[in-house]
């Protein structure tokens, strides 16, 4: 089987490369078309610029992104020029609107079936903020052979709010999470324990940005401190919003750490007890799964990407990202059942093994052709 990926996100996250390598290991010939803005390669932003199965093309100007059909007509023109679609059994569009539009047009002209993955940008930017494109989104979903959501929560949210033919889309939808770097599963931690009256070490790994919701996490932890809990909060990540950095600099119980490579993050995870990141929006959140692999229970946002990967209380809890009282109460729930939750985290982190995930994806591909 030969698959053409349309993936404008390939260079922005290592997850896409890991997916392609894993699916190729399953005996599927997977090629990626990566549409780029002019100057992208010269700016040296390509993480893996010389891979045999990845073909990046600079095909639009950065300002074109403000006019959806102008940008994507240029991408489509490049795709038509560079690829013979009769050579492919199926197309995988790695976002609904941007990549899915190209897959839809190819399908209309060549009849090539396509699978589409729905992501955070599709929901929180295109569907929510661009109502003039909602009919297009529904058209892409309608004509797709299969629709992939990264979590049950995202599927429920999209189908309930934006999809017209709900049952039809639901019946051809699949929930397939992202995998994590094999490094984490090769170096699984051991289940952890918390002793009474000791400091609870709380961790977040992610950018200091509005979306990661750090100020609300701080308020929740301050409630715990007022109740007598000893708390130390570590934040690892790039400073995007200087106002948030100023806020954490004023708190004696918070420790900031600049971004670290994976092998250093391993020891940071292992030095902490609970992972918290109640993001305002989140497509999936690989860091939750990374934390689980090291035995850390997790606090995540209700209705966003990681929600409903597991039942409540199994590996942690979902929360309303604006409810600091609920956040603090769920942390207490974790503390009170810490040993059992930590054991489940280590065990269930194997669900994010790319081998298992690509087995599911391979089944989807074969059902579509």
What was the pLDDT predicted at 47?
A: 65
The torsion angles phi and psi of 228, rounded to 5 degrees, stand at: 105, 0
Under DSSP, is residue 362 helix (H, G, I), strand (E, B) or coil?
A: helix
Length of the chain: 369
* CA angle (226, 232, 236) in 5-degree steps: 135
Contact predicate 296/344, CB 8 Å: no
What the chain holds in terms of domains, given with CATH numbers, is 2-179+353-368 (3.40.50.2000), 183-350 (3.40.50.2000)
Q: What is the DSSP string of 279-330?
A: -SS-S--HHHHHHHHTT--EEEETTSTTTTSS-TTTSEEEE-TT-HHHHHHH
13: Cα separation from own chain's centroid: 9
Sequence-ordered strand ranges (E) for the chain = 2-6, 29-37, 54-60, 90-93, 114-118, 146-149, 173-175, 200-205, 231-236, 254-257, 274-276, 298-301, 316-319
Structure tokens at 354: 């790319």
Of 199, 198, 192, the closest CA to residue 338 belongs to: 192
Using an 8 Å Cβ cutoff, are 90 and 368 in contact? Answer: yes
Encode the chain (369 residues) as per-residue pLDDT tens digits: 999 999 999 988 888 999 999 999 999 999 999 999 998 876 666 666 668 899 999 999 988 888 999 999 999 999 999 999 999 999 999 999 999 999 999 999 999 999 999 998 898 899 999 999 999 999 999 999 999 999 888 899 899 999 999 999 999 999 999 999 999 999 999 999 998 778 999 999 999 999 899 999 999 999 999 999 999 999 999 999 999 999 999 999 999 999 999 999 999 999 999 999 999 888 788 999 999 999 999 999 998 888 889 999 999 999 999 999 999 999 999 999 999 999 999 999 999 999 999 999 999 999 998
Contact between 268 and 279 under an 8 Å Cβ cutoff? The reply is: no
**Can you read off the two tokens belonging to residue 114?**
């396509």
pLDDT at 288: 96
Three-state DSSP string of 85-129? HHHCCEEEECCCCHHHHHHHHHHHHHCCCEEEEECHHHHHHHHHH
Per-residue model confidence (pLDDT) at position 54: 92
pLDDT score for 49? 63
Provide the whole-model pTM.
0.89
- For the beta sheet containing 298-301, the strands, ordered from the edge strand earlier in sequence to the opposite edge, are 254-257, 231-236, 200-205, 274-276, 298-301, 316-319
SS3 277: coil
């Amino acid at each position: 089987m030969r698959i053409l990926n349309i993936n404008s996100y390939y260079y922005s996250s290592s997850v896409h490369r890991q997916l392609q390598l894993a699916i190729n290991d399953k005996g599927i010939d997977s090629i990626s078309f990566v549409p780029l803005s002019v100057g992208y390669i010269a700016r040296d932003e390509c993480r893996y610029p010389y891979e045999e199965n990845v073909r990046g093309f600079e095909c639009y100007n950065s300002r074109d992104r403000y006019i959806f059909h102008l940008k994507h007509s240029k991408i489509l023109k490049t795709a038509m020029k560079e690829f013979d679609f009769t050579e492919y059994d199926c197309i995988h569009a790695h976002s609904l609107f941007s990549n899915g539009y190209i897959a839809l047009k190819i399908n209309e002209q060549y009849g090539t079936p396509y699978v589409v993955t729905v992501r955070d940008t599709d929901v929180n930017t295109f569907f929510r903020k661009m109502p003039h494109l909602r009919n297009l989104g529904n058209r892409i979903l309608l004509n797709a052979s299969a629709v992939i959501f990264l979590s049950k929560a995202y599927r429920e949210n999209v189908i309930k709010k934006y999809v017209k033919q709900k049952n039809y889309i639901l019946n051809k939808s699949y929930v397939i999470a992202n995998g994590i770097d094999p490094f984490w599963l090769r170096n699984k931690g051991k289940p952890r324990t918390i002793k009474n009256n000791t400091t609870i070490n709380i961790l977040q790994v992610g950018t200091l940005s509005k979306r990661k919701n750090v100020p609300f996490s701080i308020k929740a932890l301050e409630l715990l401190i007022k109740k007598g809990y000893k708390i130390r909060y570590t934040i690892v990540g790039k400073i995007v919003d200087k106002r948030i950095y100023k806020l954490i600099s004023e708190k004696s119980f918070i420790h900031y750490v600049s971004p670290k490579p994976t092998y250093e993050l391993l020891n940071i995870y292992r030095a902490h007890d609970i992972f918290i990141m109640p993001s305002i929006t989140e497509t999936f959140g690989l860091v939750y799964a990374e934390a689980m692999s090291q035995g850390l229970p997790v606090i995540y946002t209700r209705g966003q990407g990681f929600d409903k990967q597991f039942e409540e209380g199994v590996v942690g809890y979902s929360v309303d990202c604006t409810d600091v009282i609920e956040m603090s109460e769920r942390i207490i729930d974790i503390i009170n059942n810490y040993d059992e939750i930590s054991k489940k985290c280590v065990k269930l982190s194997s669900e994010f093994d790319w081998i298992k995930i690509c087995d599911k994806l391979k089944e989807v591909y074969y059902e579509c052709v």
